Amino acid sequence: MKRVVISLLAFVLLASSVSALEITGLEFLEFLSHGEPIGAISTGRVPNIDMKIIVTGEDFTLLRADISGLNRNDAIVDDQGYRDMVVHASDCEQANDTFTCYIRRIIFLLPSDTVVMPITLYNDTNSTYIEEVYVFDIDNTAPNITDLRTETCLNTTCFIPSNQYAQIRIQFGDERATFEKKIVRYSLGDQKHFVHTCEDMTCYGRAKTTCRSGQRIALKILPDQTMDDAYNILANDMRIDLFCDSEKPTLQNYTIGTDNTDYVKIGDDMVVTVNVTEDLGEVTIQGNFSEFGGGMSEGACEKKGETWFCRVTTGVTGEQPYTGNAKIYIKDTAGNVLEQTVTKNILGLDSEVVVDEWEIGTVQGMPRTLNTDVVIHTTSDIKVYYKLPFQ
């Protein structure tokens, strides 16, 4: 929207010998919503718009403005007194001979894109009459919602934990719409919320509810309370049912070692395997290995039957043998986290140390002879003794 024409007429009210009001005209005029300049705007009802007017003249005392052209509803115009709005200099912000004045909380019902607003500026002796012609950028296209979900979904099934905040994502489709004012409202269960962030056509919110596993919780957009920055109300409705998951994964067992041994020494890659069960969704694994010289590590999980087999690894560093703890986190799709502390003794052997192989000395069986025809019919034990040479 833009300011295109200013017509200026000065009327001397008293004798010309009296000093005239030093008015250079309106230096600036704009309309604000939530403190920011409005862009495209609807011809529908738009509340709470502020009109900002900057004038110059050290003797300025007040202005009178007829803003009835901003609203086509005569009843609202008369009720709000829009035909004669008065702003005194004492109510404006002054910097030297510049005054910044506001007419607050105007209700728009624009009759067209072009509005003429007669404004008169006063000092104690003179007045200056201005016809301000303002052209608005009109957008009457109602936006559409195209997607509504949490950030924890598997294909078309979305989950939500109990008593934990979940991120809500709302997607719109409109070539002209913007949502920087974040006038987007939705409900989770029986609670209503506004989004906290909008980026292009996507808005995000946070909400939580109390539920039990398997329960379905309704997530709905509120179309009559959702609009774009031009104040066009949402054109359609959308609802999805979220699956509640109130339980964290259940630990079955875990092991710590390497790929080849159940012990770990300095310089090895330590492997933590965790087996869990999970009724709803999938699971992921992370490990905090800071005590072993590592950091946060991502692992992988695979489901076999009813059990999830998870594995996460880290390199082990250090100078001397020590005992360290790691925090293992198993997270399900809804966001419930099973936290497990694991402990491991680290041996002070580096990767270059080679352990000598044992050699078999002699082998002696008991009994010394064996009748193979008879042995298949007996339950007697057959023992073999190994003699190991020591040096």
Domains of the chain (ranges; CATH) run 2-135 (2.60.40.10), 144-245 (2.60.40.10), 250-347 (2.60.40.10)
Does the structure show a pLDDT above 60 at 21?
A: no
The closest alpha carbon to 68, from 24, 41, 108, 29, belongs to: 108
Number of CB atoms found within 10 A of residue 130's CB: 22
Q: What pLDDT is recorded for position 352?
A: 45
Tell me how far CA of residue 308 lies from CA of 54, 271, 272, 302, in angstroms: 68, 16, 14, 6
144 strand-pairing partners: 173
Flag the least confident range among 9-23, 314-328, 353-367.
Answer: 9-23
Cα 188 to Cα 57: distance, rounded to the nearest angstrom: 55
pLDDT mean over 159-183: 94
Flag the least confident range among 172-176, 206-210, 296-300.
Answer: 172-176
Does the structure show a pLDDT above 90 at 289?
A: yes
Does the structure show a pLDDT above 90 at 230?
A: yes
Q: What pLDDT is recorded for position 361?
A: 55
Does the structure show a pLDDT above 80 at 39?
A: yes
Spatial strand order in the sheet of 283-288: 264-265, 337-347, 322-332, 283-288, 296-298
CA-angle at 43, arms to 82 and 180, nearest 5°: 100
Tokens (6 digits) for 42: 């609807």
| 333-358 per-residue burial string, b: 16 or more CB within 10 A, e: under 16 | bbbbebeeebebebbeeeeeeeeeee
pLDDT interval class at 8 (50, 70, 90) = very low
Q: What pLDDT is recorded for position 353?
A: 46
Q: What pLDDT is recorded for position 348?
A: 87
Give the percent of the chain with pLDDT over 70: 82
pLDDT digits (tens, 9 = 90+) for 41-91: 999 999 999 999 999 888 899 999 999 999 999 999 999 999 999 999 999
> Could you tell me how many helices (H) and strands (E) the chain has, helices first?
2, 31
What DSSP string describes 123-181?
-SSEEEEEEEEEE--B--PPPEEEEEEES-EETTEEEEESSS-EEEEEEEE-SS---TT
Does the structure show a pLDDT above 90 at 123?
A: no
- Contact predicate 63/122, CB 8 Å: yes
Q: What pLDDT is recorded for position 222?
A: 98
Does the structure show a pLDDT above 70 at 362?
A: no
| 34-71 per-residue burial string, b: 16 or more CB within 10 A, e: under 16 | eeeebbbbbbeebeebbbebbbbbebbbbbbbbbbbbb
Q: How many CA atoms lie within 13 A of 253 on its CB side?
A: 2
The mean predicted confidence, pLDDT, of the chain is 88
The residue written with tokens 């012990």 in the block is 263
Does the structure show a pLDDT above 60 at 94?
A: yes
pLDDT mean over 335-355: 80
Q: What pLDDT is recorded for position 59?
A: 87
Q: What pLDDT is recorded for position 356?
A: 56
Q: What pLDDT is recorded for position 11?
A: 40
